[in-house]
Structure 1
């Protein structure tokens, strides 16, 4: 009998949209605090935050995905992630409007990003899952941040110097 494989994901929202990242990359979830600003960083890089003695770049994922900037509320959280990118692991803090839960998705429930016939920024989507009458977008973190430019790379190098 074939066993259906499932993967665990942490779900969170940006506005009305629900997103997910694999649970194995989530180190911890923190309350939102303002980050130490880094001059000349890209608009989505909010700055550095000290996480247990490590300087971690904090990213406004809403801005990175072309949405309006995050407006901090009592529900705003930072997901501290260890993202495998190329031949290293990138420590990142992603700002989420709200973090929900860890949920299992069967691998055969995960669909590819839809083809809408035109070019659009779907390269950060590793898949979508139908859930509760809507969709959960699974983010391909490595793709989202591998081309993020020198500012993130500089911030990552700074955390090793500090």
Structure 2
């Protein structure tokens, strides 16, 4: 399911995490050993569901902000500073900013990641998006819909 068909922002968002609702792309999982979908974008915070195939891994990487790794299913092995941490379903690991880590899953796993990117800047608007939008004008129809805004010439 693309982000076009699901909400990424809102005051209240509810996701069901049954097998068919996880939004994991089986083709990507088979091809790359992992697949993920962003569930929430809220300012500098992201919540991402990620699947690792059996034998799948995430090479060593770090982030500028804190993150959590919650194992929903399976087992994942995180390596941080030459120390191996085995996490199973229900376990949560919190990492501080800049902590480099790698992850692998011998039998496959579903993870829920929470990432915070402090100081993340908003992208500059493109020139196309900066073009002036059509002016909104109120229609005077004399009925209960008076004052409703229409775009452009008001023709439907």
- In terms of Rg, which structure is larger? 2
Instruction: Verify same fold: TM over 0.5.
Output: no
TM-score range, shorter chain: under 0.3
Instruction: Please give the TM-score of this superposition, normalised by the length of structure 2.
Output: 0.22
Higher helix share: 1
